[in-house]
Structure 1
Amino acid sequence: MDVVDVVVIGGGQSGLAAGYHLRRLGLGFVILDAQPTPGGAWQRAWDSLHLFSPAAYSSLPGHLMPPQPGETYPDAGHVVSYLTDYEQRYELPVIRPVRVAGVRRDGELLRVETDSGTWRAGAVISATGTWSRPFVPAVPGRTEFQGAQLHTVEYRSPADFAGQRVIVVGGGNSGAQIAADLAHDTQLTWCALREPRYLADDIDGRALFDHATARRRALDEGRIDTGGVASLGDIVAVPPVRAARDAGLLKAQPMFDRLTPSGVVWADGTTAAADAIIWCTGFRPALAHLAPLGLRGPRGHIPTDGTQAIGEPRLHLLGYGDWTGPASATLIGVGRPAREAAREIAAFLGRSR
């Protein structure tokens, strides 16, 4: 049983950012990653996925992402290469593949139980993200549909659906991008709970990060909440989405009422046949490994003050969304909460010693 200052659970972008700041503070730590290779969730992205921002605005702390030749907005493969290089550049102690079964209290320490042994630590940073917990709503008839059903995490290429009748469900960025991907080679129906809200065409990840930062500053100073990125719209009009939209190929339909063996039915009786349904309906935080601590609150979240769990000060959560730091689920946004978590842990361990 190994004893370290900190165990970081998850070796994607959030775990690496945490490791960078823990190393700078001189803390002893390990990063446990369930994936067999570096790159986090970016390894499972669909073929055409690109970032919203140029490389320089998509970087982890300490090392700028290099530009991708011929691309303004780097693709997922470039991000995987960058994260691989980042891990090696800073000699971060990532151990993989290691699957964490549970985190438990063990006197003054936390015990991290895995399929590769047990670690005891003065603090734990959970950075497992959401990609491993895809969410599909319980729409009536879903088990009756005889065509293919897959989630965003399983989609790869429009070539897999050429000539088919495909229904894409979801009015966010993933839904819009995958619908745009499929619009040219399939009989596409795009369904959303509400009319899609596109951000202005000149807004990309740089502006979104600036807006999230301004919101954080306003909240810190006790000023009125600006509403965050969601107040601007739901969909970033990246070039493929913009092109499909302007060509009239992205016309969202209201959400259907139920599924049938051969397709879907709307509340007014209108039907649509389908060979496949792609659920772009989001994710839930992957927190099952923290269940033994008994911390879960509303909507499956663990209540936090910044990144620190309110019910367990030795635990920090990083990269799950705005509730663990504004823009903390983004490459450029995770740096600040990672730094704050590392500093708070260093102070906490200093006091406990």
Structure 2
Amino acid sequence: MDYLREIESKTAHDHHHHNHSNEKMKIRSPRRVYVPGPVIVGAGPSGLAAAACLKQRGVPSIVLERSNCIASLWQLKTYDRLRLHLPKQFCELPLMSFPQEFATYPTKQQFVHYLEEYAKRFEIRPLFGEAVASAEFDRSVGFWRVKSVGVKEGEETEFVCRWLVVATGENAEAVVPEIEGREEFEGPIVHTSSYKNGGVFGGKRVLVVGCGNSGMEVCLDLCNNNASPSLVVRDTVHVLPQEMLGKSTFGLSMWLLKWLPMNLVDRFLLVASRIFLGDTARLGLDRPCLGPLELKNLSGKTPVLDIGTLAKIKSGDIKVCPSIQRLTRYTVEFVNGSKENFDAIILATGYKSNVPSWLKESEMFSEKDGLPRRPFPNGWKGEYGLYAVGFTKRGLLGASIDARRIAEDIERCWKADAKHLAAFTRSLSPQS
């Protein structure tokens, strides 16, 4: 295509790409690949959704993935008992439903199977083992330069493309907090990304740090494996029943929002939760001032959907603790001055975006948290053909919405380019 020839011509005359000495002649230049369609960074559910929506519209793409499989977070860094927290109809990717025989809340294994079948159906074949080191828009040629390093061979490749879709998501890197005395603690300290099940902790006293959905589920799993877990609650948290009146709490909330304002739906959820779960503040789980939906909408903080952990807290099988002050060899000292001995610590402290570490751009993405500066539903599109999918703080449903928007937007540009190229080709044809 003519624009690819233009890049080659400009690159050939760019002094940065010439070797001016014998020493530079020895340096191995990265392999360069010209991509006519978008480059998608990340082969998780968001990246797969974007690739499928583009494929449906006739736009080819290349998906780069640093791991050796699709959905590496789900396959390699999640615990065995994990299930989707929302009913399957709210977690489908565009253009393909879950199998009818799957449970209402699919297991981890079922969800991974669904994603693998999704990739097969839309013929998405990511380039695995490609860790993106940098991506920068080259104004001189009007294209993105995406540089990756092969995880196994260490070979550098530069992908040159007009459109770049960032699909590495909100959960790219584990968040590991600094804890005073951590190096003194004799027992294992592991993040939930390395936790598989509570079998290895049977009979042990385990402190779980973090009271989100993961922390709550890990505590329940530890109980079921005869461990003695305690839960560090560092902040306020909304705990809601997973189901109300025979319907999923999330589904019921979405239905009510069609008819009622958010503040009234929040009041309903809190009253119903008080009826079904009791006063969580009496258990050491204080609720935020904002309602669960309003808090989610403003900050992205997800309420905990209880699947049995609260009953274990009420029975005393799980103990609630305040924040950690410091660690010693076998002891944890809490901010209220109390001390307890533990055999292990599990950090259910979540994940964060890693976009600022490789994307050389600061207009669309915040350097502070690696998320789009503009909140949903306006954070999916940036300048110069830059897009984001999977950063909505609204899970798979938000990723699906953005994937469709991105594909529609790129298709318009793709068709416009095709018309210009056809016109250019005709202008070069000999006159009859």
Structure 1 and Structure 2 fold alike (TM over 0.5): yes
Cα deviation code 1:199-223 (max 9, x no counterpart): 1342547428838987xx99xxxxx
Question: Given that residues 130 and 320 in structure 1 are in contact (C-alpha distance below 8 angstroms), is that contact kept between their aligned partners in structure 2?
Answer: yes
How far has the Cα of 1:246 moved from its partner? 5.4
Aligned pair count? 337
Q: Which residue of 2 aligns with 1:261?
A: 329
1-side partners of 2:254 and 2:93: how far apart? 16
2-side partners of 1:12 and 1:104: how far apart? 22
Residues 1:26 and 2:58 are matched in the alignment: yes
2-side partners of 1:278 and 1:11: how far apart? 27
Q: How does 1:38-53 map to 2 (within 5 A)?
A: 38-43=70-75, 44-53=77-86
Q: Which residue of 2 aligns with 1:96?
A: 128
How far has the Cα of 1:228 moved from its partner? 5.3
| Among candidates 256, 277, 297, match of residue 345 of structure 2 | 277
Give runs of ≥4 in structure 1 deviating > 6 Å. 211-214, 230-233
2-side partners of 1:247 and 1:237: how far apart? 15
2-side partners of 1:18 and 1:187: how far apart? 43
2-side partners of 1:158 and 1:66: how far apart? 30
* Aligned alpha-carbon RMSD (Å): 3.0
Return 5+ residue gaps in structure 2 as ranges.
1-32, 151-156, 263-290, 421-432
Q: How does 1:8-157 map to 2 (within 5 A)?
A: 8-43=40-75, 44-67=77-100, 71-106=103-138, 107-116=141-150, 117-157=157-197
Greater helix fraction, Structure 1 or Structure 2: 2
Q: Which residue of 2 aligns with 1:171?
A: 211
| Among candidates 230, 240, 244, match of residue 312 of structure 2 | 244
The alignment-based identity, stated in percent, is: 26
Aligned-partner residue type, residue 113 of structure 1: K
Instruction: Tell me the SS of whatever aligns to 1:183.
Output: helix
Question: Given that residues 209 and 233 in structure 2 are in contact (C-alpha distance below 8 angstroms), is that contact kept between their aligned partners in structure 1?
Answer: yes
Distance 1:78 1:202, change over 3 A: same
2-side partners of 1:200 and 1:125: how far apart? 36
Instruction: Tell me the SS of whatever aligns to 1:35.
Output: coil
TM-score normalised by L of structure 1: 0.85
Q: Bigger shift: 247-256 or 27-36?
A: 247-256
Distance 1:165 1:211, change over 3 A: farther
How far has the Cα of 1:86 moved from its partner? 0.3
How far has the Cα of 1:13 moved from its partner? 0.3
Distance 1:245 1:317, change over 3 A: same
Return 5+ residue gaps in structure 1 as ranges.
219-224
Q: Which has the larger radius of gyration?
A: 2
How far has the Cα of 1:264 moved from its partner? 0.8
TM-score normalised by L of structure 2: 0.70
Cα deviation code 1:215-241 (max 9, x no counterpart): xx99xxxxxx96254789721012x43
Question: Given that residues 10 and 34 in structure 1 are in contact (C-alpha distance below 8 angstroms), is that contact kept between their aligned partners in structure 2?
Answer: yes
2-side partners of 1:17 and 1:228: how far apart? 27
Residues 1:314 and 2:347 are matched in the alignment: no
